[in-house]
Structure 1
């Protein structure tokens, strides 16, 4: 049985994390919709679920570096982490920043499409196992 080297493993893990992140952002939007339109008690789930997602883009950046992926992919991962920080800031300071808090769902859309973009860019890539 062939084994993956560290770079190959990091590359596979990067794309798995990108997939998990895009699905998680979608679930997070769904939970927010449920809290807004169905049951306001779901806001607690929306808040707590976000804490589990927060560091996925940072781990993706580390995996991109370890896998030797392009600098563009590395910076996109760091950009996703920056968007996560933006999400937290717009949520925590919503009463102080007024209309800027309206960017919260816009940032969510950007995070989703950013992670999908990374998945699509690696779609044609092959993992060579020696």
Structure 2
């Protein structure tokens, strides 16, 4: 990446990139807490249930920034899907019989979050060229 490309990229794109990677990291930590609770110390469930409140808003911020910063449509759509998947995690954690879907959705959340983070700059640059 050239110095000129860095200067031409709006701050909203860089913040969006940071939020996307922050969300990826938070999902990894959340998964770690669940694993620790299952395999080491059951009291870690409290950390698992509390930590989500720290990062559950990140996809909403990504979505708002996507529109405010005029980011490409795929970023906005993915941010919306991430937000919906976070809500679905609450449903599967609290709806009897739906708990088996909770870790499956977590895998999807992580995959989509990584894919979104990796695509922020390339999709913005493609949109600017074409």
Which TM bucket (shorter chain)?
0.7 to 0.9
**Which residue of the partner structure matches residue 122 of structure 1?**
120
**Root-mean-square deviation over aligned CA pairs:** 2.0
Of the three residues 67, 70, 75, the one matched with 1:68 is 70
Query: Can you give the 5+ residue segments of structure 1 that lack an aligned partner in the other structure?
Result: none
TM-score norm. by structure 1 comes to: 0.84
**Which residue of the partner structure matches residue 55 of structure 1?**
57
Of the three residues 90, 93, 110, the one matched with 1:91 is 93
Matches of 1:53 and 1:86, distance apart in 2: 15
Matches of 2:76 and 2:121, distance apart in 1: 16
SS of residue paired to 2:100: helix
Matches of 2:119 and 2:77, distance apart in 1: 14
Q: Is the 8 A contact 2:75 2:120 kept in 1?
A: no
Matches of 2:16 and 2:64, distance apart in 1: 9
Matches of 2:85 and 2:62, distance apart in 1: 14
Of the three residues 89, 110, 113, the one matched with 2:111 is 113
1:31 and 2:33 aligned: yes
- How many residues matched? 119
Query: Can you give the 5+ residue segments of structure 2 that lack an aligned partner in the other structure?
Result: 1-6, 126-130
Q: 4+ runs of 1 displaced by more than 2 Å?
A: 122-126
SS of residue paired to 1:18: helix
